[in-house]
Amino acid sequence: MCAIAAALVLTVTAPAVAGAAEDAPSPRPASALREVLFVGNNWDGTADVIESGGDLARIGRIDVIPDRDERMAEINADPIRWIYFMAIRSGVGEGHDQFVDDMYSTPDGASVVVSRPSFADVVSLDLATGRVNWRFPVSGYRSDHMAVSPDGKRVAVSASTSNTVHVLDIVTGEELGSFKTGDKPHENVFSRDGKHIWNMAIGDVNTALDAPWLDWTKGDRRITVVDATTFKQVKVIDMRDRLDAIGLKDHSDAVRPAAFSPDETKLYFQVSFFNGFFEYDVATDRITRTKTLPKNPATSDDRTTWVNDSRHHGITMKPDGTKLCVAGTMDDYATVVDRATLQQGPLVAVSKPYWATVSGDGKSCVVSESGADRVTAIDFATGEKTVSVPVGDHPQRVRLGQVEAGWSGTSGN
């Protein structure tokens, strides 16, 4: 074990700063801001910052693991943490470390907050220096998806091995509260008014027990809705009963990425193993429509070959609510779907798309091609690809954010 662990320690590229709330930097003078897209390159521990629309030109790159030596020393000194670190690498990481899952910029554009699964933490990185402002170790051994409140002041992060969501002050890293979820919390979504947080627990996605009749082995998968101020549970939604009610007893009830309609009356969501998505009516508490998307004939029918139980993983909505954009992960395409008719547009060939988001101008869907190390924009109006740009190793989450005008990368890169 020691020889392997020692080999994991690499050279740090920028000094780390200890992570307590009091270590947060003093506010900078207000600066003009520039809208950008942050692209998290999960396997190489970087984030590319690109234009938020148009040609998606790269602006700069961030090292999201400047404290790698310190973190690895801690892991190597703790046998239990070392075991989890290696399990993440061999399981959900597909043989790679997971150094960046999700990221959001602070309202002043001075910092970016990143969840780092292999290090089981959340850090705030100064965008001018690349240094760590603060660090929050999550409960358990892995951090996952995040969400930022509409006012930009709070960030919610899933701690997937402790079935907990932590809510942090985005500037100081102070924990404001937490709440319990189903097994393996994943996606988090704040309501538009900031009053509620929706968390989707996906259960165990790393086992090979993927046959429909073994679905019960995957754990407690449910949506947990809490008050975003008190963190008290408001309601729990188990899609099992809703799927059974429409005759889909063999479908998984593990809700993956999801997108609300602009008025939040409808939730569109993906589930494990399914090539398509569902429409859920919030008021009546039922699934109202099902959209099955085409299968790629080149995709194996062996469900154990689908990464982390994901057939399709990534869905977003055009700001006016007229179109959806879906990442067909294992089927190697993305497509725009008309929300009124559920008719899909062209199947745009992309390599293992892992996420979908909306460009800054709202005209395009931007998908991460984790199999080709690039991001691609698809025009909502035509459904056709407009541009692809290279990024780092295994891009996953893509988030709109902001940096200070004139920013072109951290001083350490």
**What's the rounded Cα separation, in Å, for the pair 134 and 20?**
6
Query: What does pLDDT average to over the chain?
Result: 92
Sign of CA pseudo-dihedral 352, 289, 211, 218: positive
The C-alpha angle with vertex 193 and arms to 398 and 240, in degrees rounded to 5, equals: 70
| Distant-in-sequence, close-in-space partners of 47: CB < 8 Å, separation ≥ 6 | 38, 39, 40, 41, 61, 62, 64, 100, 103, 112, 114, 392
Unique residue bearing structure tokens 């869905």? 315
Q: What is the pLDDT of residues 265-275, one digit of tens each?
A: 999 999 999 99
Specify the CATH superfamily of domain 34-404.
YVTN repeat-like/Quinoprotein amine dehydrogenase (2.130.10.10)
Q: What CA–CA distance (Å, rounded) separates 355 from 274?
A: 16
pLDDT attached to residue 91: 87
User: 27 pLDDT band (50/70/90 cuts)?
Assistant: low
Distance CA(316)–CA(220), nearest Å, equals 25
Q: Which of 72, 151, 78, 52 is nearest to 364 (CA)?
A: 52
- CA–CA separation, 279 vs 270, rounded Å? 9
Report which of 132, 188, 148 is spatially closest to residue 164, judged by C-alpha positions: 188
- What global pTM score does this model have? 0.90
Taking the mean position of all CA atoms in its chain, how far away is CA 307? 15
322, 339 in Cβ contact below 8 A?
A: yes
Residues 134, 200, 300, 275, CA torsion sign: negative
Between the alpha carbon of residue 321 and those of residues 121, 176, 238, 357, the distances in Å are: 34, 32, 25, 13
Instruction: Tally the C-alpha atoms within 13 A of residue 372's C-alpha that lie toward its C-beta.
Output: 17
**Among candidate residues 220, 256, 234, 142, the one with its CA nearest the CA of residue 179:** 234
Backbone angles phi, psi at 270, to 5 degrees: -105, 155
Q: Which amino acid is at 124?
A: S
Q: So what's the pLDDT on residue 313?
A: 97
**φ/ψ bin of 383: left (φ > 0), alpha (ψ from -120 to 50), beta (otherwise):** left
pLDDT per residue as tens digits for the range 375-395: 999 999 999 999 999 999 999
Please answer whether residues 219 and 203 qualify as being in contact, where contact means their C-beta atoms are separated by less than 8 angstroms. yes
pLDDT-based confidence at 31, cuts 50/70/90?
A: confident
**CA pair distance 404, 139, nearest whole angstrom:** 33
pLDDT digits (tens, 9 = 90+) for 88-136: 998 888 899 999 999 999 999 999 999 999 999 999 999 999 999 999 9
The percent of residues above 70 in pLDDT, for the chain, comes to 92
Lowest mean pLDDT among 5-14, 202-211, 338-347: 5-14
Q: pLDDT digit string (tens) for 73-92?
A: 999 999 999 999 999 998 88
Output the DSSP codes for 254-281.
Answer: -EEEEEE-TTSSEEEEEETT-SEEEEEE
Positive or negative: CA dihedral 88, 94, 96, 100: negative
Asked if 375 and 391 touch (Cβ cutoff 8 Å), the reply is yes
Cα 379 to Cα 35, 39, 235, 339, 370, distances in angstroms: 19, 19, 37, 15, 20
Half-sphere exposure of 47 (CA within 13 A, CB side): 34
